[in-house]
A and B are shown apart, each in its own frame.
Chain A
Amino acid sequence: MTQTAKPSVRHPGLKTNKLGLTQRDYEGTQSTLCAGCGHDSITAAIVQAFFELNIAPHRVAKLSGIGCSSKTPTYFLSEAHGFNSLHGRMPSIATGANAANGKLAYIGVSGDGDSLSIGLGQFCHAMRRNVNMLYMLENNGVYGLTKGQFSASADVGTKAKRGEENQMPPIDPASMALTLGASFVARSFSGDRKQLVPLIKAGLTHRGFALVDIISPCVTFNDHEGSTKSYAHTREHGHEVVETDFVPLLHEIQVEQDHGASTAVTMHDGSVVRFRSVDEHYDPTDRDAAYAHLKKLQAQGEVATGLLFIEPMSRDLHELENTVDEPLVEVPFEKLCPGSGVLAELQSHWR
């Protein structure tokens, strides 16, 4: 595989955002994934979300682990620093990077193999620490790069391409996140950009760990009949529990009219996530109810999608660690080194 640059043709009529950038400025190199891969649709949604949020690409750190999903950060935001780390270890890189500089936007892209097997521990602990990042779990139930083994998210009874049936119960990242105290849990489908883009925007704006579990069919190894992570199956069984729209701080009034009986949740920076329950009485700020509803739908063979849970005022890693407001990387050395006088004073006690 080699890296292919996209031709830099620019249509003069392209729309620009507040930074004067076009959506093309938020793209990366050409994808080398299989044609029709769900991940590519997610990449497109990411590009749109960053563009619409007017985030300067170089103020973003994009990180990933290993696997098909983890290749995708090269396909968006070419002006952002990227880090394609180790299998299952992206959360620790993101945690350290965020500790050093909490002022960048962080997006981590991972898959079900990366997050739910080899990296399950780091995935859980990043949630526990409430690292301020958007965590995209591109979930296809299968190991693509190693050619089609079941992943830990494969449902019982799901069939591999060659026919064998999975017997192990799946690990569901969304319900697990709810029990671990995650502050933002959403699920979506790569084929539903209308749902996905507002969720990405809300996740990026949420201060804390925002999990978006996205069913993203693998066209090569897991899109057949007998798979519960195929396009057809997800379309049929996807069940939107809440319809979500993300309202950036400055646009609140313009979009308000689009919604009828909706509920607004104000985020840390003052922007608003507006959601309307599709299921009667669903309250995405009630963790226990969210969990119960998720399980109920699961029992019916349905996949709950939308913004499942949000705790907008949760304390992120920096608040928990009481770090200074300025990024640690920007603190001048003089403020960090106590100097010779302090050293002498300290040592006067070491006698």
Chain B
Amino acid sequence: MDQNSRDRTNDFVVKIATVNGTGSASANGMLMQAMFRMGVPVSGKNVFPSNIQGLPTWYEIRVNKHGHLARSPNVDLMVAMNPKTYEQDIAEVRPGDAVLFDSSWPLEEELFRADVLFLGIPLSHMCVENFEGARARILMKNIAYVGAVAALLSIDLEVLEEMLEEKFSAKQHLMDSNNVAIRLGYDYAKEHFDGLLRVRIEAMDANRDSVLMTGNMAAALGCVYAGATVGAWYPITPATSLMDAFRGFCADLRKDPETGKNLYCIIQAEDELAAIGMVLGAGWMGARAFTPTSGAGLSLMNEFLGLAYYAEIPAVIFDVQRAGPSTGMPTRTQQGDFFTVAFASHGDTKHVLLFPGDPTECFYFAVKAFDLAERFQTPVFVVSDLDIGMNDWVCEKLEWDDAFVPDRGKVLSAEDLQEMDHFYRYLDVDGDGIPARSLPGVDPKGAYFTRGSGHDRFGRYTEDGDLYQDVVDRIARKIEGAAEALPPPEVRLANDATVGLVTVGSCRGAVLEAIELLAEDGMALDFLRITGFPFSSAVEEFLLSHDLNIVVEQNRDGQLKRLLMLETAVPKKKLASVLDYRGSPLGADVVVQGVRNQLGLVAVEAG
């Protein structure tokens, strides 16, 4: 269908190009939030540089009445506020669509395109006339373009004004200037460009049960609700905002009512090695402890992760993935850490992983991760990415069951210990591969020596091969046993599909949208979203029951596909890949094209 003939109400993309460090991020967030408050499904993706001030940055807002909120490259309105990227921004706009620019200075002749609508507003001039001081003029220009976009798209001005009121109710002068700025842009656009755009927004009621949150906020809140008391970390994009959020929540929610003292301890470590060491020390002591990090930090944690696995110490690690290897593209999203987290450290290891698909799951999986870590006495990784972690998502509202009791696993009390003839730390009494543990300070009978060196099932040092093997084999059984305790994978079945799309994490939205688009073309596809590792039997059954499973993920090497190859019985020929690892959140267009290519290849081979 020709995109121009579709009804484009509540179905469009606005892209805003600015310079980082100019305050545009909060202005852009306001626009997205206003759309959310109008009850329309919306997403906002921040594409930002690894820099504090002066480099190009973009914000992409997608509005879609059907709820398809993956990134889309089809820009309907480009808000071009950065002259340095005019050329590429204008080139990105499709014929018939519009560019909003600051006409305080003339646009160079060669940038104009005949097939694009150019909407010039003298934003800087207006701000110079209305505001004092360089900083205020820069900030208010952002608010002025928000007003202009609101007019162009028919965003309810009252909604915006209400948001300003909430934000600045304590600072009258800021509220006044913001209101003036909004009006400047709004009135100018109304007067000059009313009705020119093909796209517009119309209030809906799709967001009644939704909230706006980032995955890092949600994960941090999950840590609070799970009862985590010790957080240790080293600053790293894109995981930093997780600990920032935890600190913020704790400041409000974790003060002892009588003394005003902290019911938590957050330590900014000297590096990631120390951060994970602190988490393990706290976990060994019996606290629920966690660290947020990203790929580079994980690499540093590797030695300790092996110790945690082998000495069986609970820990929760949030891996908010970014583009690697090395420093890579630290402010861009990717899913390149699957190998690292699955088998972190030297020697034989295998770790329990959870893969949230959105911020809502970040909350629930965070809580789950602490239970799993204590149940299985091992590090548990919550593996998200920059897109989930740092972007505001419209999410299902979080619920909490006040009857929730944390699963502390097999922790022996002083009474338990007193009743025992003898306590042996690594003895599998129950046959499930999980020994009981004692905590320091509880009872003399619970004392044992925690070590990363060879030990036997009684916790004694050993270099005897058989005794060593006995313990590592038992740990392998224990970890395998975790597979069915993880959140079940998300499965959606079409009628009689023989091909499955398999994906993970933030790719979910793009893959589901692609399945709908391909269904319109008569292609039936089943859907499997992996949510945990080791893979459950449901994952293997899905893979075996399809002729072909196309694994959609954001890394170069098809890491999830390779893990499936290693860890399930699925034959290699039943697996194919669609990959996108350019650092942007995945779009359905990439998936559709990739699936078409794969199926074309398969058809040729079969013929």
Query: Which residues of A pack against B, CB within 8 Å?
Result: 1-3, 56-59, 61, 73-74, 78-86, 89, 91-101, 103-104, 121-122, 124-125, 129, 317-318, 321-325, 328-329, 331, 333, 335-340, 342-343, 346-347, 350-351
A329 touches B286 (CB 8 A): yes
A122 touches B277 (CB 8 A): yes
Q: How far is the CA of A318 from the CA of B267 in the complex (A)?
A: 11
Q: How far is the CA of A89 from the CA of B443 in the complex (A)?
A: 26
> Does B328 sit at the interface, judged by CB under 8 A?
no
Q: Evaluate whether A328 and B287 lie within 8 angstroms (CB atoms) in the complex, with A85-B307, A121-B271, A122-B274 already known.
A: yes
Which of B11-19, B448-456, B471-479 binds A? B448-456
For chain A, what secondary structure do more than half of its interface residues adopt (helix, strand, loop), or is it mixed?
helix
Query: Which residues of B pack against A, CB within 8 Å?
Result: 33, 36-37, 207, 211-213, 221, 224-230, 232, 253-254, 256, 259, 261-267, 269-271, 273-287, 289, 303-304, 307, 397-402, 404-406, 438-444, 446-453, 460-463
Q: Which partner residue on chain A sits nearest B273 by CB separation? A: A89
Which of A82, A104, A346 is close to B450, meaning CB atoms less than 8 Å apart?
Answer: A82
A97 touches B285 (CB 8 A): yes
Which residues in A have their C-beta under 8 angstroms from that of B460?
3
B282 touches A100 (CB 8 A): yes
Which residues in B have their C-beta under 8 angstroms from that of A3?
460-461
Least distance between A52 CB and chain B CB atoms (Å): 19
Known: A81-B439, A93-B284, A100-B282. 6 other contacts (CB 8 A): A96-B280, A98-B281, A99-B267, A121-B274, A331-B229, A339-B400
Which residues in A have their C-beta under 8 angstroms from that of B275?
92
Least distance between B456 CB and chain A CB atoms (Å): 10
Q: How far is the CA of A92 from the CA of B281 in the complex (A)?
A: 7
| Shortest 10 CB-CB contacts between residues of A and residues of B | A92-B277, A96-B281, A96-B278, A100-B287, A81-B440, A97-B281, A100-B285, A93-B281, A96-B282, A100-B282
B262 touches A324 (CB 8 A): yes
Least distance between A270 CB and chain B CB atoms (Å): 22
Which residues in A have their C-beta under 8 angstroms from that of B405?
333
Q: Evaluate whether A80 and B400 lie within 8 angstroms (CB atoms) in the complex, with A321-B265, A331-B229 already known.
A: no
B278 touches A95 (CB 8 A): yes
A328 touches B264 (CB 8 A): yes
Q: How far is the CA of A323 from the CA of B260 in the complex (A)?
A: 9
Which residues in A have their C-beta under 8 angstroms from that of B262?
321-324
Q: How far is the CA of A84 from the CA of B284 in the complex (A)?
A: 12
Q: How far is the CA of A333 from the CA of B406 in the complex (A)?
A: 8
Which residues in B have their C-beta under 8 angstroms from that of A346?
221
Which residues in A have their C-beta under 8 angstroms from that of B404?
337
A86 touches B271 (CB 8 A): no
Which of B229, B277, B287, B441 is close to A61, meaning CB atoms less than 8 Å apart?
Answer: B441
A340 touches B277 (CB 8 A): no
B211 touches A121 (CB 8 A): no
Q: How far is the CA of A96 from the CA of B262 in the complex (A)?
A: 16
Which residues in A have their C-beta under 8 angstroms from that of B442?
58
Which residues in A have their C-beta under 8 angstroms from that of B451?
82-84
